[in-house]
Chain A
Amino acid sequence: MLINVGIIEDEVELASAMQKLLNESEGFNCTSVFHTADDAIKNIPTLHLDVVLTDIHLNGKTGIDCITALKPICKNTLFLICTSYEDSENVFNALKAGAAGYLVKSTKPSILLDAITDAYNGGAPMSSQIAKKVVESFHSYHHIAELEKLSPREQEVLEHISKGYRYKEIADILYISTTTVRKHVYNIYEKLQVNSKMDAINKVYRLR
């Protein structure tokens, strides 16, 4: 199973290094690299990519803009934000915009590739700081429909992540598999996105 990956990164050398890494690793294929957001937004909808890695700071627009523009059109593409550090406010905003997760650029290549595969298989990473932000934001959403609320199990998982436990440990504590933990995290991301959209709508409503 070949994962088709696209890259949005304004640093040309870094982009080509990442492309090379992907193409030389088994299971990945990367032929689409974009150096500007506009270029990416124009071309990605026709490419049917599985995963798109995007940097946050691009010239002019941001990776978050890319995700906001592309996510509604490319339903079957996963967007992962590439960041230097996992606790950034930007990462959180990208998640709200529809990113399926984030990659820490500075980690070892093998871990980087694992993270892409994990995300592709429906599991995304989450740090304690992001978890705290997620908890906060769910508290701030007013009228969440029953379906969009976090389930008790998801709350439990989130609570443990925010206390610094890793997926493996949470799986042990809650007597579930790591795959299930990942699935919960994946669902939390989805709900975060839905709710941030509702929030945006409410904001528009408020301006009237």
Chain B
Amino acid sequence: MLKKKFNPAIVFLCFLFTFSAGAQTLLEELEQKIAAAKDDSTKAVYLDDLAWEYTSVNPKKGLPYSTEAIEITTRKGYLKLRSSCYNTHALLLENSGMPEEAEKYYLLSVKDKMAVKDQNGLAVVYSNLAKLLRKSGRFDEGIAYLEKSIHIHDSLKNLHGLGNAYNNLGNIYYDLAQFQDAIDAHQKALVARTQIGDSLGIAYSNVNIGKTLADAGDFVKGMDYHLIGLRILEAKNDFIAQVVVLGNLAAHFRRIHNLEKSKYYCLESIRIAETNNLTHLLDGTYQVLGEVYRTGNDHASAIEVFEKAHEIAVQNQKLFLQAEILLSLGATHLALNHTAEAKQHLQNGLQIAIENQMPVNQFKILSLLSQVFMTDNDLAEANDHLDRAHKLLPQLASNREYLTYYASLIKIAEKEGDKDRLIDAYQNFLAFHDSIFFENMHTDVYELNMKYETEKKENTIRLLEQQEEINRLELGRQKLISQRKNYMISGGLALFVIVLTAGIFLFRKEKALAEEKRLLAIKETEDQERNRVAKDIHDDLGSGLSKIRFLAEEMEAIKIDERFHSKVKAINSTAHHLIDTMRDLIWMLPPANNTLENLLIRIREFAGDYFQETSIKPKVEFSEKVPEFILKNTAIRNLLSAMKEIMQNVMKHSNAMNFSIQVNVDSSHLTIVATDDGKGFDPTVSMGNGLKNIHHRIAALGGKYEIKNDTGTQITIVVPLEKITRK
């Protein structure tokens, strides 16, 4: 079910580090430096650099330079430099399609690095060597080298090298379909890359984790990782990786039969590749797109893109992919009954598959060829090819392929009219069908589940989009309404004339309506203005005052001159007072804070903060469900100030342990009772400024207040609701 599949993406990701657009000028510069080099060691260094520049651009062209560099360093005995030249040479050989030679030179590099005790360099070469071995399928050896590399990087704390080594390790485990190990390795790479802030590395690790998760079956989570990676790549303008990642996404979506999404990602990948001259990366993507078209029965388009895919795969020398594309092309042509073309493509594919030992593809191509011959009624050839396919079956060890084989056999036997063979084929077919029935069912359930998960996610997204659309429309509608209001006001005169002629009754009605709308418009502007003012005060005045306070605080600590000191102290306390006042003002301004409940919450919060560093325990109690009243601004300001004044008195004079505020709302009045258990005072004797203040504030709201002194102080404030609420 979780089949290991060759994918160009990761191979490409590995090369991304060395790819650079301004390569041409750098190459010229290096050539000049080589020509001008006065001594051998300088020349060898530049030769090595130049060869290195060719590794990803045009590896074959770099070989003579690295060869010369090796020759010089060997002659002169520069072991350290030679080890680097060997490494470059090996990489050039590797990229030129000569893996055996490359391995030899990597090993030579290892030998030199060991001789000169260059641990860091050794770790890098090990990592490169492992990457090469991975391509040849020698995974165990690769893992062993990477473990050595990781050990060295770890002890040297080379996070960059560590990230790359873990990345390579993850890729090998991915190839081995050991997904959990792969994810672990990629996650370690991600950690190392995150620590040094290597954003591209972070992106690649995310993509690799996403890819592995998707292949391991957690498609939805894999998607998230892909998208994180993609976002970074977009921000960093890394088009190469974007093309590859979008291609990956397209392939994943095809696998879960979401053709629409798959097509979308294919086209997106193609678009970016085309605008950035990266079409050489598109072979895999075109193949996926072709399969999407083929599944949708758009055979003509499928053939067109398959052919593009094939052309690029040939250029890129990707044999496995070529065989797959030729198989797809054959199948598409067969669907159109173009047997001649189908035969040609399949035979080409077959040759590649045989030459490069790809038994699965060989089998698939042979079975399909047999079908093509059958369509042509060439039963002899059909039988012959199916026999050849049959011989491969033991190597494949997959029931699914047996099933394909017997299905083809049934068709041939039917055509031949050979009843014995037909019955035999049927029996075998059924036997294998049964044996893989459960496997099939399991796969189906798995795929259905994935499909369900992605669709669920997409539906949520669609809902969100719709909600957004609704919000947008609603906003537009409100704008339109307010525009109409404006027209109504500005065109008031015109309206007046029309309405006059229309008759006095209609006029009155219309006027009332216009007035209502005008008021609405005013309220809306007012709300906006409130928000704006709150924000402005917040941003400018607020930070200025904080600064004054902070600086004054600093100066207050310096006691040189008593007069100077008391002035600074005054500045400080004024600033403090202003900040507090402003805090209330800012709190009051946004229209959402105008409710009675919010005022009570604010009072509770203030009490908590105000008595925070004292032994007084404040308690502000009001019912869970405060009736929804919008308060007038004057009411908020006066009530808040009165309550603060009361709390100040408690703090300064009462010696109380407990302080409580109880709030009650009935149909006509708001009642606030503030109680403390302090020493109390005689209101007839001492009517201080604070008390006067409270008196004024409550009177301004048309309310009454009462002070009781039994075992402490109790102040009761009663305010009529109609005076403090807004309609």
Contacts and interface: CB of A to CB of B under 8 A. Distances in A.
Interface stretch (B125-133, B345-353, B356-364, B600-608): B600-608
B553 interface: yes
5 tightest A-B CB contacts, nearest first: A166-B608, A84-B542, A164-B604, A164-B601, A105-B546
B554 interface: yes
Contacts of B464: 142, 202, 206
A84 B547 CA distance: 9
Given A57-B539, A85-B586, A166-B612, A106 B605 contact: no
Interface in B513-548: 538-539, 542-543, 545-547
A61 interface: no
A105 B464 CA distance: 38
B576 A106 contact: yes
B587 A87 contact: yes
A201 B228 CA distance: 7
Contacts of A106: 542, 545-546, 549, 576, 579
B553 A14 contact: no
Given A85-B586, A106-B579, A164-B601, A14 B547 contact: yes
A13 interface: yes
A153 interface: no
Interface string A76-96: 000000001101100000000
Contacts of B473: none
A27 interface: no
Given A14-B547, A20-B554, A105-B546, 16 more contacts: A11-B547, A17-B550, A55-B543, A84-B538, A84-B545, A105-B550, A106-B576, A142-B464, A164-B620, A165-B605, A166-B612, A198-B224, A204-B227, A205-B227, A205-B461, A206-B465
Nearest to A167: B608
Nearest to B552: A17
Contacts of B194: 72-73
A84 B194 CA distance: 33
Interface residues of B, number: 46
A87 B592 CA distance: 13
A127 interface: yes
Contacts of A72: 194
A162 B600 CA distance: 11
A13 B194 CA distance: 34
Interface in A185-204: 198, 201-202, 204
Interface in B612-651: 612-613, 619-620
Interface string A1-14: 00000000001011
B195 interface: yes
A17 B601 contact: no
Nearest to A41: B197
Nearest to A16: B554
Interface of A: 11, 13-14, 17-18, 20-21, 45, 55, 57, 72-73, 84-85, 87-88, 105-106, 109, 111, 127-128, 142-143, 162-166, 168-169, 198, 201-202, 204-206, 208
17 contacts: A17-B554, A20-B554, A55-B543, A73-B194, A73-B195, A84-B542, A84-B579, A87-B587, A106-B546, A111-B613, A142-B464, A143-B460, A164-B602, A164-B604, A165-B604, A169-B608, A202-B461
Contacts of B587: 87
B579 A17 contact: no
B61 interface: no
Contacts of A17: 550-551, 553-554
Nearest to B202: A72
Contact of B197 (A73, A87, A206): A73
Contacts of A165: 604-605, 608
A142 B583 CA distance: 34
A91 to B, nearest CB: 11
Given A17-B554, A164-B601, A164-B608, A201 B545 contact: no
Interface string B332-345: 00000000000000
A145 B586 CA distance: 37
B543 A84 contact: yes
Interface of B: 194-195, 197, 223-224, 227-228, 230-231, 264, 457, 460-461, 463-465, 538-539, 542-543, 545-547, 549-551, 553-554, 576, 579, 582-583, 586-587, 600-605, 608-609, 612-613, 619-620
Contacts of A88: 538
A93 B452 CA distance: 34
Contact of A57 (B543, B576, B601, B605): B543
Contacts of A201: 224, 227-228
A163 B601 contact: yes
Contact of B605 (A111, A128, A205): A128
Nearest to A170: B608
Contacts of A142: 460, 463-464
Contacts of B603: 164
A87 B586 contact: yes
A166 B609 contact: yes
A72 B194 CA distance: 7
A11 B582 CA distance: 21
Contacts of A13: 547, 551
A205 to B, nearest CB: 6
Residue from the set B230, B464, B554, B576 with the largest chain A CB neighbour count within 10 Å: B554
B550 A14 contact: yes
Contacts of B538: 84-85, 88
Contacts of B608: 164-166, 168-169
Nearest to B234: A204
A206 B546 CA distance: 41
Contacts of B551: 13-14, 17
Contacts of A11: 543, 547
Contacts of B460: 142-143
A179 B620 CA distance: 22
Contacts of A55: 543
A103 to B, nearest CB: 11
Residue from the set A20, A84, A208 with the largest chain B CB neighbour count within 10 Å: A84
A166 B601 CA distance: 11
A109 B576 CA distance: 12
A14 B543 CA distance: 10
B228 A206 contact: no
A200 B57 CA distance: 37
A205 B221 CA distance: 13
Nearest to A20: B554
Given A166-B609, A205-B461, A45 B550 contact: no
Contacts of B197: 45, 73
A165 B550 CA distance: 28
Nearest to B268: A208
Nearest to A72: B194
Contacts of B620: 164
Contacts of B605: 127-128, 164-166
A109 B556 CA distance: 12
B605 to A, nearest CB: 4
A128 B601 contact: yes
B719 to A, nearest CB: 20
A168 B603 CA distance: 16
Contacts of B576: 106
Nearest to B195: A73
A206 B579 CA distance: 43
A206 B620 CA distance: 46
A88 B553 CA distance: 24
A204 to B, nearest CB: 5
A79 to B, nearest CB: 16
B535 to A, nearest CB: 8
A109 B542 CA distance: 17
B131 to A, nearest CB: 27
A207 to B, nearest CB: 10
